[in-house]
Structures are given as structure tokens and as C-alpha cells.
Amino acid sequence: MAKIFCVANQKGGVGKTTTTVNLAAGLAKVGQRVLMVDLDPQGNATMGSGVDKRKLELSIYDVLLESASVAEARVQSDKLKEGGCSYDILGANRELAGAEVELVEVERREKRLKNALAAVDAEYDFVLIDCPPSLSMLTLNGLCCAHGVIVPMQCEYFALEGLTDLVNTIKQVKANLNDDLQIIGLLRVMFDPRITLQQQVSEQLKAHFGDKVFNSVIPRNVRLAEAPSYGVPGVVFDPSSKGAQAFVNFAQEMVARIQAAP
């Protein structure tokens, strides 16, 4: 049975997409079967996995409107295959922004993705969902089908404030729609240990959230930022870079957590 994780944080530009595609590649690298779901109309995770969002014949939009199944809409990427870290991709593009409006009248609209993923459950070890920077109907669809939420965050002062809103949303979804849901962990990203404030916030996070803070830390690393322009995750673009290695470590930490608490 696949473990389904949302990568979510309503704050923009905190590293959600970078985390999703690199964790997907890292998990593939250590032998896991992975489906990456792009739930953001920006389509960055799609492009960052080597799939041209403008050329998608079917996408997550069709799946949410129930005009296609996941099996019909998922694609693979030659670039990922060449890099030896292949995962399946359920892509997104601007069309997805319309889904929000089109689903308004539909009953149980927040369960659309959950129902669709049930059909491919046996084919994957992990499903990773890249959420948009909002707590919208799209994010809600992600949260409704997930076993857990991975929250990437930068160790800055305002990061802690935003976390309260996210924690409350997750509590509400858990109480009303998805009893399974929990924060699996906070992932410290774009970390620079030379900056004292980042170290302080990192310590505060550990004091507050204990083992909900992942041991793995993702450093600020330019190779991770360069990779999307080549249409691959950093793990494929430059496997020996510090950023890529940190994501492969994180993938191993995730696998170990799942094995410890299935």
C-alpha cells in the first residue's frame, strides 16, 4: 500500500516544489516506487521533472474532474530515466486553476483525488503531492488523501508564525475529513549554519516540535536552484552536490520512518 504525503506550506517560495521533486528522485534512487502529483497550477514540479506542462494531453485537472483516471493521465520523463531516478508524474498546468471553480457545485469535491489515487495504490510505495502556496480546495484535496504532511520551512522569524495557521488547518482537516492526517515532520530547508538567527530558529523548532523535526537538513545550495532550468531535480542534475546528498539522506530517513511506524 502506498504511503501518501503532501508537501505543504501556505507560504510561497519556501521550497515545497524543490522538496517534492528531489525527495521523489531520492526515493527512486533508493529503490522506491514513486508517483509525484503536481497539485499546483504553476506546474513547477511538472517542469522540474522534465515534462513540458504545455504539452500535457491529460493532467491532474482531468483526474479531479473525473474525465480521466490516474493510470491514463500519468506520464514518465526521459530525463529522469536517463538520470536513473525515474518516478511517475501526474502533471499540472494553468488549466488546474479552473478546477477550483468547476468543483464548487460538486458533492464530496474534496475527496476527488483520494478516490482517484485508490485505483493505483498497489503500484507505488510513495505518493508525493506538491501543494500550491495556499490553503485552497486544491490543497484540501491533497490533505484529504494524505497519511501525513511534510512541511518545508526556512529557519526565519516569520516562518514560525505561518506554522500556526498550517497546524490549525491540519487539525481541522483531521477532525472533519481525514482522521489519518498528521504532520510527519518539519524539514529545515535552504539552511545556512553560518547565520545565527537560523541556528536559533532551528533550536526553537526542535524545542517546540521535538521528533517532528526531521534529522535531515537541506542546505542552501545553488545546484538545487539551477536544476529546474535543466528540467530535472538536483538529485539528478548534480548527484555529488551537497544539496543532492542531503535529499538522498532525507529519502532514507523517510523510508526508515515508514519502516519503524508503518
Q: Which of Mg ion, ligand ATP, none sits in contact with 84, Cβ below 5 to 8 A by type? A: none
Residue 42 or 86: the one with the smaller Cβ distance to ligand ATP is 42
Stretch that binds Mg ion, among 27-35, 39-47, 50-58, 206-214 (CB under 5 A): 39-47
Strands lying side by side in the sheet with 3-7:
88-90, 34-38, 126-130, 3-7, 148-153, 183-191, 213-219
DSSP for 222-236?
Answer: HHHHHGGGGTS-HHH
Q: Report 43-102 residues binding Mg ion (CB under 5 A).
A: 44
Nearer to ligand ATP, 113 or 151 (CB): 151
Quick one: CA dihedral 127, 131, 136, 138, positive or negative?
negative
Residue 98 contacts which entry, Mg ion, ligand ATP, none (Cβ below 5-8 A, type-dependent): none
Residue 243 interacts with, from Mg ion, ligand ATP, none (CB under 5-8 Å by kind)? ligand ATP
Residue of this chain nearest to Mg ion (CB atom): 17
Report residue 38 as a C-alpha cell.
503536481
Q: For 50, left (φ over 0), alpha (ψ -120 to 50), or beta?
A: left
Residues from 146 through 205 that contact ligand ATP (CB under 6 A): 189-190
Which range in 14-22, 53-61, 113-121, 206-214 contacts ligand ATP by CB under 6 A? 14-22
Tell me the C-alpha distance between 51 and 89, whole Å: 8
CB of 36 to Mg ion, least distance (A): 12
128 close to 24: Cβ distance less than 8 angstroms: yes
Comparison of 112 and 220: residue with beta carbon closer to ligand ATP: 220
Radius of gyration in angstroms for the set of CA atoms belonging to the chain, rounded to a whole number: 17
Q: Rounded to an integer, what distance in angstroms lies between the CA atom of residue 242 and that of residue 190?
A: 12
CA distance linking residue 188 with residue 102, whole number of Å: 36
CB 153 within 8 A of CB 206: no
Binding mask 9-28 for Mg ion (x = CB under 5 A): -------xx-----------
Q: Give the x/- contact pattern for ligand ATP in 22-51, rule: CB under 6 A.
A: ------------------x-x-x-------
Which of 2, 3, 8, 15 is the binder for ligand ATP (CB under 6 A)? 15
d(CA 244, CA 242): 6
Q: Site residues (CB under 6 A) for ligand ATP?
A: 12-18, 40, 42, 44, 133, 189-190, 218, 220-221, 224-225, 228, 243
